[in-house]
Structure formats: structure tokens, C-alpha cells
Amino acid sequence: MKRLRWQILIVVLALVVIAGLLLWQQPEVVQQVVTVQPATGGIYTEALIGSFGRLNPLLNDYNPADRDVNKLLFNGLVRFDDRGLPLGDLVESWGISQDGTIYNFSMRDNATWHDGKPVTSEDVVFTIDIMRSEEFPSPPDIREFWKEIEVIDLDDKTLQFKLPDPFAPFLDYLTFGILPKHLLEDIPPSELVDAKFNQQPVGSGPYRFDHLISEGGQIDGIVLSAYDEYFLDRPFIDQVVFLYYPDSESALEAYREGEVMGIGQVDHGILGEVLKEPDLNMYTGRLPLLSLVYLNLDNSELSFLQDSTIRRALLMGINRQRLINDVFSGQAVIADSPIPPGTWAHYDELERVHYDLSSAINLLREAGYTIPAEGGSVRRKDNEALSFEMVHPDDPINSALAEAIKDDWSKLGVEVETKPVDYETLLSDYLEPRTYQSALVSLNLTRTPDPDPYPFWDQAQIIGGQNYAGWDDRQASEYLEQARITADTGERTRAYRNFQVRFTQEMPALPLVYSVFSYVVDEQVLGVSMGPLFDPSDRFGTITSWFLLANRPSAPETTPAETPTETLP
């Protein structure tokens, strides 16, 4: 047996040695690594829904198509990433005084206008003077805001802002496009609306104005060319062409005909058809557009709305995922907070209130209501029924939302009468005078990356402000007021976390969904990326990284496989 074991061992060792020698003599394995490197060149053409207006960043508030183009032509002092954190744009650094009332900014030395002139602090002061001029059609709130701010150009590349009081969201107001003083200083603010500059703009962005495309006196498109001296990265794509179309359907047809490579916005009407296009890549991003149901907490006729248990039951009784699927065609996300998800101020560990019909009914019972076995409205011992009116904007989306919510609440025994009204009437006759019972509305927080929920939920805004719910909660207000006066992001994050927890506990309004923006480009456009958005034009935030052409190595790089080491027993 001992001799046999030695023989077996010798055989095994021999096999190991032979296997090692065979591996040693195997031919070298070559791994091919092919890298695609972006190359300069090409023309990208996109369909914009709408029409040409004025290519002036101070005049594009009401024309999204102009904002899309101006995003490539002009820069602000700061910009924001997709989490809502500020980054330098025309400025490279800034400092804030300890009391939060003085902001000092250093501008980039290499920032130039498309005519080669340097961008200076004088351009910034000039632009702000236009915005606060009574002769220029700035939004009234913006005009009044800038009238209270002292702006000082310390030198050509250094700016100082003095605020009357600490105001942490101040950076949010510095994204406006800067205008060139040397080209516009001789034009009175009242005449800027019709200035020739608005059709032949000179900006400082990654693309410069090239020419308009027109026929029969109508502007059908605009051509932009890459600006070689752009202070950040020169774009890879040489030209961007925007063509205007009246609606999404005609834009989709233009893509099918090969006229364009992208569609600026995909609405519900063409979503199904777009998804059938094999060569179109879709990008989606959350917008800060919140649909919610206001409940009038100060209506003495509806005392039950002042009960947070009832309010929680009402939210628990809404099938929000069904709303997303049926009304928004999947283009929305559930809202758990008045602060958008994906932003630095959103509390990710916040309690989620899920659709749960049986739990909602149990909450109503805890609040003293009886649910009739034979169906019908729930009532308390004093025979008070859970019945109220819900006003809503008279448009297809909100009308469908209102009816779906009404249907969900009927399963709880809650009776709701829906009332469609136009937007102006909803605001002037219901929200502002607080005469509504409940209201389905959309809070449009686009172009405001800093969340600042103060205007909608602080006690001070109940009378004359935008706290339409009438939420009179000292604890929540303290968190909002604290976050407004401290510039420290960590402290603001904690304050907003506490506010959101309090909001979820009290549920002063019922958050429904955040809308989603959908954007499509042909698969031959590479390098495209898109995160959460604060405005649809933010989809161009990474356009300097997009490319149509690529340098491919003539000979692939080779990486020899690891050579096995011979090991003898």
C-alpha cells in the first residue's frame, strides 16, 4: 500500500509539471481594446416646438423656444448642477461674509464675448440696471428684488453684492444671462425689446450666432456655430441648427423625413410613436413641477380638514401610481415632499405614504367616522359627512387627475365635487382670497434650483402670501426661516430635513407627482447625458461633450494576457 501511494503521488506530480509546461508554451492571448475618441465636426439639427421670438436672455421668460437657444448663446454668473448645487459660470470663485449680506465674486479672466471683447464686471452691472429699470419689461418681482441689492464693480473682474438682509437663496438669482454693455449701452431700456440685437445676438456661450433661416419673411430656424475661444471646453459639434415646428406631431414627422436629429420635447401625444422609433434614444429628467391638492386648513365649515389624521387618510386613499400610468403615460414620479427628489435639500429617508385603502379606512374610523356597510358617504356621530369641493385648472391633464382622485376617494366614502376653472380664476377667485375648500394645482418651481419652500409654507405667508393652505405651524416655520438666513449648506440641509419630516407628519397638503421631461435624439449623437432638470433648456448642460464624429485608432491597442508562472512541486 505504501509503494502504491508513492506511485500515485509521482503520477499526480508529473501531470502537474506537464500541465505547467503546456500553459507556458501556449501562444500569447491578445485582448483588443478599441476606444472611441470624440472628434470635432458635424452638424446637429433639432426640432423646437414653438416659434422664434427674441434672442435676449432677459426677454425669454415666456418663450421656452428662446430659452433653449439662449442656453447655448449666453452665460450667467453661476449655474447649478442637477442636484441644485451652485457652480461657477462666468465667475470662478466667490465668498460670503459671516453675516450673509455681502457676496464677492471673481470673474474668469478668459471669458470673452463672441466679438472677442472681454466679459467684465461692468457688463454685469449694466445687465442688472436693465432688469431694475421701470422702462424695461422685467417681471415685477425681479425688478423689485434688484432694486434692493447694491451692486459694485470693484474692478474689471471683481464684483460685490450687498444685501439688506441675509438671504441664502441669493445665488439662485444669478443665473440670468449677461448682456454686452459695449454693444447695448447706447440703447434705452425701453427700446431694447425691439433692438436689432435680439435677432443677431452676441453672447459668451459655447455657441455663437451664425445666421437665421427664413423664407417669405418668416423665421424658420437659426444656425449656431461653435465658439472657438469659449472659456470652458470648445464643443465637438461644429454647428447646432434649430428648426421651429408648431407641434410635436410635425416635429416627429420632420425626424422621420430626415430633417432633424432630435426633438426638443416629447409630449404625451407622440410618446407612443416615439418609442417605436428604433434609432431614437430617449432621455428623461425630473422637472420641479409639483402637482398637489391644497386643503383649506382655515375653512371653519370644513373642520375635518384641520385633522391631520383625515389628511393622511386622504393621501393614502389616492393611487398615485395609477395617476402616473393613466394620466401622465408614465412620465411622472411620485412626490413625497415639496422639495424635489434628487436635489441636495431632499431628505431621502423621508417616510413614504403608500396607497393603502384598508389602512385609510381604518384612519377614518379612528377619527370617529363610520363607514356604511351598504356603501355611501362616511359620517361622524354628528352626521357630518366627508364631503367637499375640489377646484382645478380646466385643461385635459388636470381634469383627468381630478376625476381619478374623485374616483379613488369615492372608495373611501368621501364625496368630492370637481369644478374646472381657468388658471386666472383659480388664482384670483379661490387661492388668493382663500375661498376654496380643496384645490388641485401645480407648483411650477422651474428655474429655481434653490428649493426655498418658505413662500408656500411659512406662517408669515398665510395672509397676503402664497401659503394658500393656511398652514400655521411654528415648528415648520422655524426650520424654513433658519434655512433662509444661513449660507452653510450643511445647516440648511438639516433644517430642510426637519421641515420635510414635519410636513409629512402634519400633511398640510397632499403631494401627488413631479412631472418628467422627455427628450429624444438620434443614436448617432453620442456623449449625451441628462439628469434631473430645473428647466427644459438644462438638457444642454453637457452639450460641449456631445459629438457626431470619432477618431478610431488605426491599430487597436493590445494588452498581453497575463503570463502564468511556472510552479514546481
Parse the chain into domains and list their residue ranges.
36-54+205-279+523-569, 75-197, 288-516
pLDDT at 122: 98
Integer Cα distance of 267 and 515 in angstroms: 11
Integer Cα distance of 66 and 420 in angstroms: 31
Integer Cα distance of 126 and 479 in angstroms: 36
CB atoms within 10 A of CB 220: 15
Q: Identical fold at 36-54+205-279+523-569 and 288-516?
A: no
Rounded to 10 degrees, what is the CA torsion of 328, 330, 336, 341? -110
- Which residues does 214 contact at the CB level (< 8 Å), separation at least 6? 220
Local structure of 125: helix, strand or coil: helix
Q: Which neighbouring-strand residues pair with 421?
A: 393
Q: CATH number of the domain at 36-54+205-279+523-569, please?
A: 3.40.190.10
DSSP state of 333: E
Q: pTM for this structure? A: 0.88
The candidate with the shortest Cα–Cα distance to 441, out of 288, 319, 287, 291, is 291
> What burial class does residue 139 get, using C-beta atoms within 10 Å of its C-beta: 0-12 exposed, 13-18 middle, 19+ buried?
exposed
CB atoms within 10 A of CB 105: 22
pLDDT at 380: 79
Cβ(390)–Cβ(439) under 8 Å? Answer: yes
Q: Which amino acid is at 569?
A: P
Longest dimension (CA), the chain: 111
Mean pLDDT by 10 residues, the chain (569 residues): 37 42 43 72 98 96 95 98 96 97 98 98 98 96 97 97 98 97 97 97 98 94 98 96 97 98 94 96 97 95 93 98 96 97 97 96 91 75 85 97 97 95 97 97 94 97 96 98 96 98 98 97 97 96 97 58 37
CB atoms within 10 A of CB 567: 8
The candidate with the shortest Cα–Cα distance to 237, out of 222, 251, 247, 227, is 227
Pairing status of strand 37-39 against strand 438-444: unpaired
* Chain center to CA of 447: 8
CB atoms within 10 A of CB 1: 5
Local structure of 363: helix, strand or coil: helix
The CATH homologous superfamily to which domain 75-197 belongs is: Dipeptide-binding Protein; Domain 1 (3.90.76.10)
CATH class of 288-516: alpha beta
pLDDT at 285: 96
pLDDT at 556: 53
